[in-house]
Amino acid sequence: MGIDYGTKRVGVALTDESGRMAFPHIVLNNDNKLLESLEKIIEERGVKEIVIGHSLDRSGQPNIVHSEVEELIGDLTLQVGLPIHLEPEQYSTQEALRDQGRTSQTDASAAAIILNSFITKKK
């Protein structure tokens, strides 16, 4: 499962059965039900690993949402106990916007870009 974390919305992507290609799945509101929603997807879809966009600024330093991502990683580790990987995510949302324009699935598309990047590096 790939996650593109944002302060308002969180994009989620999943892979095909082979684990070779990621696809946008859903965009969740970043609210007090986020962790519960992610846990439900993990359980229902049989997720085995999680890839979260590593949020850095243009100079490679942690940006404004970095601490929130770290908190999410801690919460997910405690709740689901799956391997969690960080993948650089600079410009993933901009790439999704360039590819399709702003849609309700833009953040999920950004999550798919992050997850596909991780899959490619893993091969």
- For the stretch 9-56, pLDDT in tens is 999 999 998 899 999 999 999 999 999 999 999 999 999 999 999 877
Read off the pLDDT of residues 54-68 as tens digits, 9 standing for 90 and up. 877 778 787 888 889
Nearest to 47 by CA among 111, 1, 112, 114: 1
Task: Report the C-alpha gap between 38 and 28 in whole angstroms.
Answer: 9
Sketch out the chain's domains with CATH numbers: 2-122 (3.30.420.140)
Token pair, residue 108, equals: 């999920």
Terminal C-alpha separation, the chain? 17
Rounded CA gap, 50 and 5, in Å?
12
Q: What is the pTM of this model?
A: 0.87
Q: Which residues pair with 50 in a beta bridge?
A: 84
